Amino acid sequence: MQDRLTQSTKPQLLRFGIPAVLAIVGLVFSAGTLTAQEEDTSTEVATDQSDVEEAEEIASEDEAQNESEDGDADSESEEVATDEASDEDASEVAEAAEADDGPMETLEVTGTRLPVADPTALVHSYTAEDIALTGASTLDDFFRTVPWQFNSTNPQTANMFRTGDDLAGDSGGIYGAYDLASINLQGLGSSNTLVLLNGRRVAGYGGSERDIVNILGIPMEAIERVEIQLDGGSAVYGSDAISGVVNFITKKNYRGMTLDVKDERSGTGSDLFNAGMTFGLTWGRGNATVTFSQNEQEPILNAKTGYTTRDYRDTMGPEFDYRNYNVGQPGIVRHWNCSNVFPGPYSSNWYCDGTFTTDEEKLVSWQLPPDHNGVGADISDFNSGPVGGFWSQPEHINPYDRIPRENGAHTGRDGATINLQHEIFQGFKVFVDGLYSKSYSKQVNQLPFISIVVPASNAHNPFDVPMHVSYAPGLEQENGLLPSPYSDIITENNTATVGFEWNFRSQQTLEAYIRESRTETNRRNFSVSLRKERYADGTEEFYRRLASPDPEEAFNFFGNGTQQTNSFGNFLGESSKSIGLNQTTEYGFNIKGFLFEFRGDEISYVIGHTRRVRRYENRFAVSTGVFNYEFDYNAVWNGTSQPAYRNESYFGEVWIPIMTEQHAGWWGQSVHLTLKNIRSMDSSWGAVGGGIDVDFEIETEVEVWDVESTDWNNEGIGYNIGYDAAEDVPMEQYKESDDVPNVGVVYYPRTDMRITANYSRTIQQPLISELFDTYEDFEWQTYDILDLYDPDGPTFHEIVPYRYSYANPDLEASVGESHSLRVKWWPQFLSGLEMEVSYVSTSFKGQIEHTASYFREPLSLQSDAIAVRNERGDLIALNFDYFNAEVRQSTTVDTHFLYRFGTQRLGTLETRLHYHRKLEDYNEPFPGLVFSSLGTAISPDRYRTTVQMFWDRNRMSASMIARYTPGYLNEFAHYCSIQQKLNQVGRCADFALFDFTSWLALEVASLTVVDATFKYRFDNNFEVQLSGLNVFDRFSPLTVRSGLPYDPSRWNGRGQIFSLSVRYMMHQQ
């Protein structure tokens, strides 16, 4: 892994070797295939690619001429849905397919399984060309341009807290996953957005209990279009679609070969190179489309983003000082705590004589001046003073102010997809689709500190006794003496679907399929080892230099790093590793078709059944030499290593023409009704109490290096700790059934206007870690509780006991309700103009939260979920547990204008304006207790304005996209430490000493970013595109997010980006 990512030959291989191999293989394979195709299809008419293109051009001309008459015409803009094909269009497609000798093309439509598209669902579509016009090279960059996406989880936010996205689970949540980017529609959480591949589920990130799908694992080259449904989707796809559905539809029925190469340069060092190939082949009764892709991306260099110091006092206030006073270079020296097993700085005599007494004379720290290299130092050369507390800022200490070098990761990713279908006999075809993705990511971690006890014999130790040193080897990392600690992640996804379609009667189709999707994530951490194994490679040399009296050989932890031994790299070693798995298996079948004619149109229907099982696993291991620790999260907390979620669903949909064009009158043109329902049955198993078993082994023979004798002895004690659920743990089943209905109406009041309305209900079952746990309940206590509901009036309690529990088997499923309304108008009097307004309201009822978040909110004590009272009503205890909250509300309005015109001289010009407004975004955990996050850092922007301009003429085309986001409140900009409150530093003086909500807020300014592209087509086979993202190099408005001087959820830390794309296409003649 490390070799793959660090060898200097890798970029050259990627840039020249891989594209060459792909091109050669593709040309040979496609050339042979196309020759065979030409022979096999010489008698077929209008089925080759050129005829298809000609037909599409004719259709486009007819559409432009009759645009005012065709209410179902749809633009290719990012806001316009693909759900506007009428049932008449679907019939024409079906008739054309029946007339063809080849198999019928299956139309993939989001929001319905009906044989006709359903315009009542609020679906927005982006084609591959739309995505290319944004200039984006990754799906993460593309979704930054989507108005409904809150980019809270991406490689740049991997080490951030309070991102506005709930990634928690029983394994501690997804943190530090720098190879992960998710979709968070409407800011309601990535786990509440259902992500599909070709209309079916794909496994989430390895180890993710919340089943969060990593969109970086879907190759860009494979995408035909992306469809986004904003008004639920559970009535079609089952649970987990609270905030909407995103469906990635891959290319199929492709003929020819396309080779894509893209080189991208980032102003902050995050360069990217991508190579991909798509080729397709057909035979007598079938076809196959295959894509390959490979890319490599570099991380962001923090210094190029303006992140050069951790001291923000001059720009943000005296509180914003993140420099470190506990480690340094020169090192911070303290007395040793007397322990060889647990070496550290002195705080008491516990390891010295077994008492907790303290020698005040030892509570002192020393540090050399910044310009001292530590060679030949005397005690008098050191600055010294009292130790102080952890958050203290001693005046004699020079604070450490080095920043992490990178944000993001060095990433290489390989991907492939296949779509294949073959007609066995007339009307019966089999299909296969598959996805393979594997990524290799390496992140250089933040600069480490070395906590070590230096023997008295060390040439640079002037104290004549062993001393503890906290040393930050920043200079050694810069000059290569110490390799930077890092972690690497290998993530692999394999997804395969096999099924068949049978047109067994006129206009009736039976479909059955089985899909399995599996994601596995392996992570290793390499950090500074605090000690060495007795017989490990390099151990003897390591300790020899640590104790050496020779200044040319001895490790120097006292100076500024300019005089350091060349063997410093012996500190780095593997310290921990984890394995995560997420696996989804699903099978289903459905029957769909047309029933009978009703009021001049046909009623269409679909009924079917699906069964799905999802399993996840997360295991972790730590090794520090003397201490070895293994942990299987699920086995310990849930009683089984691979907990499983099970779902069984029965669904049905019907499309009813209430009024058709044949009955048009004063009331309008047509009305259609869509009814959908799914009976969803969810279940899971888990432990309820029973405790855990701790496998605790003590190895008294473990040898430990003695810092006083500078030799090995057996005084050390080694620990091997393993955890598992106790034997005979009681297991319980969670089981819940619910109906998930959907009602939609589409109404044409006139030929150039369409109105759609939709109501949908969605569900989401509780997490296994929220329902079950092996821990037995126990009691604890909290302080300073104000009870407004005491029978004697408001009462202040200094101490209140609470029942500490890790799970609640009585939780109910969360329920979402979405209401949407959309009005689209394409006025007949002005051809080329389109206007659209849409409204979406989502109420997330019963969202699962934890009571600990609301202990000090007086209004929360009205609820039995948190307050335990006696018969009189006195507060006697609090519940520390999960509960179903009242409601989470999100309401948005979108307005879209499009105007398109063209002349022979100018070509085609198109302008689009999109305004997205967030009207409501609040959480009401208990009635009357409302927390609004509208306009804050952890919520989507209050509004977003996007202006797009497109031009196309002959061989040239260009685009420009300007996006404006308003200012917002960063309510968690800085947390005031106890020391800052004691010292009355700035605004921290306003908080009480033990106020645990001591957050400072910052107002953040607005931002406007402009992207642009230019494409030139040399001929039908070759084209070149130049793209620029953030072309005016606008920097992030001033703020702080987890120490970063920018907000990576709103501003792309890759900065100004320019890229060159080359595409070569070979079409069948």
Is residue 781 pLDDT above 90, yes or no? no
CA distances in angstroms from 732 to 40, 809, 916, 1046, listed in the order given: 61, 8, 46, 47
**Residue 635 · residue 724 · CB < 8 Å:** yes
Distance from C-alpha of 346 to C-alpha of 334, rounded to nearest angstrom: 7
**Closest alpha carbon to 719 in 692, 733, 705, 701:** 701
Max mean pLDDT among 61-70, 502-511, 572-581 falls in 502-511
**pLDDT tens, 741-757?**
999 999 999 999 999 99
Return the pLDDT at 94: 37
Q: pLDDT tier at 551 (50, 70, 90 boundaries)?
A: very high
Longest dimension (CA), the chain: 102
Strands 193-197 and 244-250, how do they pair? Answer: parallel
Return the pLDDT at 804: 80
Return the pLDDT at 52: 37
Which has the minimum average pLDDT: 1-15, 288-302, 498-512, 1014-1028? 1-15
Strand partners, 627: 719
Distance from C-alpha of 490 to C-alpha of 524, rounded to nearest angstrom: 9
Return the pLDDT at 1023: 96
3-state secondary structure of 990: helix
Q: pLDDT tier at 726 (50, 70, 90 boundaries)?
A: low
User: Cβ–Cβ contacts within 10 Å for residue 449, how many?
Assistant: 21
Distance from C-alpha of 294 to C-alpha of 85, rounded to nearest angstrom: 35
CA distances in angstroms from 88 to 65, 657, 665, listed in the order given: 20, 12, 20
**pLDDT tens, 559-618?**
999 999 877 766 766 678 889 999 999 999 999 999 988 888 899 999 999 999 999 998
Return the pLDDT at 168: 67
Measure the CA angle with vertex 850, ends 678 and 869; round to 5°.
110
Which has the minimum average pLDDT: 128-132, 241-245, 442-446? 442-446
Measure the CA angle with vertex 957, ends 952 and 961; round to 5°.
100
Is residue 390 pLDDT above 80, yes or no? no
Is residue 634 pLDDT above 60, yes or no? yes
**Residue 120 · residue 112 · CB < 8 Å:** no
Mean pLDDT over 882-896 rounds to 96
pLDDT: which is higher, 845 or 2: 845
Return the pLDDT at 210: 85
3-state secondary structure of 930: strand
Measure the CA angle with vertex 516, ends 511 and 517; round to 5°.
130
Token reading at 810: 């009585």
Buried b or exposed e, range 76-102, using 16+ CB within 10 angstroms: bbbbbbbbbbbbeebbebbeeeeeeeb
Is residue 530 pLDDT above 80, yes or no? no
**pLDDT tens, 895-937?**
999 999 999 899 999 999 999 999 999 999 999 899 999 999 9
Residues with Cβ within 8 Å of 333's Cβ and at least 6 positions away in sequence, in order, are 365, 366, 367, 382, 463, 467, 468, 469, 558
Q: Phi, psi (5° rounding) for residue 153?
A: -125, 110
Distance from C-alpha of 911 to C-alpha of 7, rounded to nearest angstrom: 47
**Closest alpha carbon to 836 in 844, 845, 826:** 826
pTM reported for the whole predicted model: 0.86
Query: If you write DSSP's letter for every residue of 386-410 in order, what string do you get?
Result: E---TT---TTS--B----SEES-E
Distance from C-alpha of 971 to C-alpha of 160, rounded to nearest angstrom: 15
Which has the minimum average pLDDT: 15-29, 279-293, 1038-1052? 15-29
Return the pLDDT at 698: 58
Question: CB-based burial of residue 728 (10 Å sphere; 0-12 exposed, 13-18 middle, 19+ buried)?
Answer: exposed
Distance from C-alpha of 787 to C-alpha of 803, rounded to nearest angstrom: 17
At residue 558, what is the residue type? Answer: F
Distance from C-alpha of 677 to C-alpha of 7, rounded to nearest angstrom: 55
**Closest alpha carbon to 690 in 645, 654, 640:** 640
Mean pLDDT over 787-803 rounds to 90
Return the pLDDT at 704: 85
Q: Phi, psi (5° rounding) for residue 454?
A: -100, 125
Write down the residue that tokens 């309700």 correspond to. Answer: 817
Q: Mean of the per-residue pLDDT values for the chain? A: 85
Residues with Cβ within 8 Å of 306's Cβ and at least 6 positions away in sequence, in order, are 1035, 1045, 1046
Token reading at 141: 């960059």
**Residue 652 · residue 605 · CB < 8 Å:** yes
Give the helix ranges, DSSP H, for 556-713: 633-638
Strand boundaries in 826-862, DSSP class E? 833-845, 848-850
Strand partners, 670: 748
Is residue 831 pLDDT above 70, yes or no? yes
Return the pLDDT at 110: 80
3-state secondary structure of 89: helix
**Closest alpha carbon to 584 in 112, 206, 171:** 206
Max mean pLDDT among 101-105, 345-349, 522-526, 769-773 falls in 345-349
Strands 795-804 and 875-880, how do they pair? Answer: parallel
Q: Phi, psi (5° rounding) for residue 885?
A: -75, 165
Residues with Cβ within 8 Å of 497's Cβ and at least 6 positions away in sequence, in order, are 198, 200, 431, 432, 433, 434, 513, 514, 515
Token reading at 384: 């010294």
Residue 88: its H or E element: helix 87-99
pLDDT: which is higher, 116 or 952: 952
Alpha-carbon Rg for the chain, nearest whole angstrom, is 32
Q: pLDDT tier at 628 (50, 70, 90 boundaries)?
A: low
Distance from C-alpha of 254 to C-alpha of 256, rounded to nearest angstrom: 7
Is residue 196 pLDDT above 80, yes or no? yes
Strand boundaries in 751-847, DSSP class E? 753-764, 778-787, 795-804, 814-825, 833-845
Return the pLDDT at 25: 40
**Residue 461 · residue 381 · CB < 8 Å:** no
3-state secondary structure of 231: coil
Query: Dihedral angle at the C-alpha atoms of 130, 131, 135, 138, nearest 10 degrees?
Result: 180
Return the pLDDT at 533: 72
3-state secondary structure of 535: coil
Q: pLDDT tier at 725 (50, 70, 90 boundaries)?
A: low
Which has the minimum average pLDDT: 412-426, 686-700, 764-778? 686-700
End-to-end Cα separation, the chain, in angstroms = 44
CA distances in angstroms from 222 to 257, 333, 434, 557, listed in the order given: 13, 57, 11, 53
Mean pLDDT over 267-293 rounds to 95
Strand partners, 615: 583, 644
Cα 55 to the center of its chain, rounded Å: 41
pLDDT: which is higher, 1051 or 629: 1051
Residues with Cβ within 8 Å of 42's Cβ and at least 6 positions away in sequence, in order, are none
Is residue 51 pLDDT above 90, yes or no? no
Distance from C-alpha of 558 to C-alpha of 861, rounded to nearest angstrom: 55
